[in-house]
Structure 1
Amino acid sequence: MIKNQKHAIYFALIAIFLWSTVATAFKLALQQLTPLQLVFYASSFSWLFLLSCLIKTKDFDQVMPTFKRNKIHYLKLGSLNPFLYYLILFKAYDLLPAQQAQALNYTWAIALSLLAVPMLGQKLRKTDIVALSFAYFGVLIISTKGEFTQLNFQSPLGVGLALLSTLLWALYWIYSTKNKDKPILSLFICFSIALPLISAVMTWQHAWLIPNLKGTLAALYVGLFEMGITFVLWLMAMKKAVNTAKVSNLIFISPFISLILINQFLGEEIHSATLIGLLFIVTGLMVQKLVK
């Protein structure tokens, strides 16, 4: 693919804007569907989109050979994402205000650096420790709405699930570091593994339900713009980028756009503690990413 920094920035900005909408979309979707139902229907729509991508690129015939080469690896990846990760993330959104859940979710990069120590044999740098301190102090501020000295958590379970989702996402990326297969092909295999697992849980929980139009459209939006199209746009941005660091750093604007949308479309009054805590989290991420 021909490098073009301007095109890379365009693709990245579209992806970032779409990712900024998903916290609002999650909450609207969860008004119509349970977290489990949302995982199933959104994953189904994403699976169909990824299938169409593979058919267009004529890579579909590589699905089974790719899976057979590394069955255990893909079984682990598919169990993590989208199955466990999104089930836990959506439950966190169900329990917390969108502004809290989305801010806590941005700490996954910090969780990644922590898990990389025991799993990849990496060492924590001083900058990692500084970043960790900033980010999790921000988590404390957001989770307690600024009353961190009293540890007055609004929803301990919701906060716990939101932070657990970051560990699962980080774990997924650590396992993915050893994966040399095409990204869209790999993601399709993961969704193909996850859908039967989600279906089994749906049956066990007697959760089968044909959603109404609002529920269907909400699941379609989440499936396409959280799990599908946005991933492809970001991938294209990285491939076209002359300077990938300058493009990837644009992601720091996403949580603030997300707060504006949460306020406008969900009517949540953005708490000052959320803004302050988010600034700590983003500062931590910037320290980790930019300070070598």
Structure 2
Amino acid sequence: MSKFSNNTQAMLFGLGAVLLWSTVATAFSLSLKHFSPTQLLLVANIVSLLFLITLIAVKGETKPLISLAKQTWKSSLFFGAINPFLYYLILLQAYNTLPAQEAQAINYTWAIMLSFMAVPILKQRLTPADYLAAAACYFGVLYISTRGQIGSLEFSNVSGVAFALLSTIIWALYWLLNTKDKRPSLIGLTLNFAFALPLIVIFAGVTGELNHFNYEGLWGAVYIGLFEMGLSFVLWNKAMKLTTNASQVANLIFLSPLLSIIWLSQFAGETILDSTLIGLACILTGLFVQNVSKKTKSSK
């Protein structure tokens, strides 16, 4: 990789992360045919935690990990309760209730939700572009949720849409609170997964989901834990550290939902609805408007 410039390496790492993220909806869809959302989260969390601990050991950061685990156990438990425990539990419930193409499209509106939640939490101000982006995104959500029948306002699955939208609130809240987290990013993420594990085990035990595992879903859960929750973070973090143009790397994220639609149709057997494509186009337009607005503001 040394023959490539830092920016080229950053784009390659970023592209790798985006390619992995684009397969997640398909992995969720296939795995949830065999596992409940709680069982899938439990296995994926264990795999991700083992991967992150191995990575930290290779980097020689085991002592700082143990030290920070003792010093910051309260904040680690708090962040772990939000992500991965609560966030993935609700997100997987959305995927378990809705077609994956709809759940993943709605989930992409979390960036718009973050802008609005930053007003009370970070005292930021909204711009006209934020309102325009929100209008485009949530029109897309409405179009997907009603399968194009906006006039009737008959939602295809109210609870599934509610879970998908709730996941965007929790994810946005996590990132807003994360701005005040002083822990190193990799160690912090590892501690989140470590302290979330007992919460997931207790929840699975209370709901009776520690029994009757269908091991046909095991490889899908391992894939999610290793790539969606583990390696993708490392690749994206590496990309953001190497680049001198963060927005250029960030723009790669627009490829993910488009690729995801292809994988869902090819490997999960979902017939892609016109309403999903139109709604997703509205959501991506909204995110693009928001992205351009942020770039303009930062350049000023």
- TM-score normalised by the chain length of structure 2: 0.94
Match in the other structure for 2:265: 263
Q: Percent same amino acid at aligned positions?
A: 47
1:68 Cα deviation (Å)?
Answer: 4.0
Alpha-carbon separation, structure 2, partners of 1:28 and 1:107: 23
Match in the other structure for 1:172: 174
Match in the other structure for 1:109: 111
The residue type equivalent to 2:108 in the other structure is Y
The 10-residue stretch of structure 1 (262-271 or 80-89) with the greater mean CA deviation from structure 2: 262-271
Match in the other structure for 1:77: 79
The residue type equivalent to 2:174 in the other structure is Y
C-alpha offsets along residues 4-40 of structure 1, whole Å, 9 cap, x if unaligned? Answer: 1111111111111110000000010101100000010
Alpha-carbon separation, structure 2, partners of 1:158 and 1:148: 17
Distance 1:133 1:101, change over 3 A: same
The residue type equivalent to 1:86 in the other structure is Y
The residue type equivalent to 2:175 in the other structure is W
Match in the other structure for 1:224: 226
Alpha-carbon separation, structure 2, partners of 1:223 and 1:210: 20
Structure 2 residue 49 is the aligned partner of structure 1 residue 47: yes
Alpha-carbon separation, structure 2, partners of 1:5 and 1:210: 48
Match in the other structure for 2:19: 17
SS of structure 2 residue aligned to 1:44: helix
SS of structure 2 residue aligned to 1:147: coil
Match in the other structure for 1:86: 88
Distance 1:205 1:212, change over 3 A: closer
Stretches of structure 1 that go unaligned for 5 or more consecutive residues are: none
1:76 Cα deviation (Å)?
Answer: 2.0
Alpha-carbon separation, structure 1, partners of 2:123 and 2:76: 22
Stretches of structure 2 that go unaligned for 5 or more consecutive residues are: none
C-alpha offsets along residues 190-209 of structure 1, whole Å, 9 cap, x if unaligned? Answer: 01110000010111111113
The residue type equivalent to 2:36 in the other structure is T
Alpha-carbon separation, structure 2, partners of 1:254 and 1:178: 28
Q: Is the 8 A contact 2:34 2:215 kept in 1?
A: no
Equivalent residue runs for 1:18-167 within 5 Å = 18-167=20-169
RMSD, matched Cα: 1.4
Match in the other structure for 1:237: 239
Alpha-carbon separation, structure 1, partners of 2:149 and 2:229: 35
Q: Is the 8 A contact 2:26 2:264 kept in 1?
A: yes
SS of structure 1 residue aligned to 2:229: coil
- TM-score normalised by the chain length of structure 1: 0.96
Match in the other structure for 1:200: 202
Structure 2 residue 289 is the aligned partner of structure 1 residue 290: no
Alpha-carbon separation, structure 1, partners of 2:240 and 2:212: 38
1:72 Cα deviation (Å)?
Answer: 3.5
Alpha-carbon separation, structure 2, partners of 1:53 and 1:238: 18
Structure 2 residue 224 is the aligned partner of structure 1 residue 215: no
The residue type equivalent to 1:106 in the other structure is Y
Structure 2 residue 262 is the aligned partner of structure 1 residue 254: no
1:217 Cα deviation (Å)?
Answer: 0.6
1:70 Cα deviation (Å)?
Answer: 3.6
1:234 Cα deviation (Å)?
Answer: 0.6
The residue type equivalent to 1:178 in the other structure is K
C-alpha offsets along residues 53-110 of structure 1, whole Å, 9 cap, x if unaligned? Answer: 1101111211233244444332221100000000000010000001000100100101
C-alpha offsets along residues 142-198 of structure 1, whole Å, 9 cap, x if unaligned? Answer: 111111121111110000000000100111101110123221100011011100000
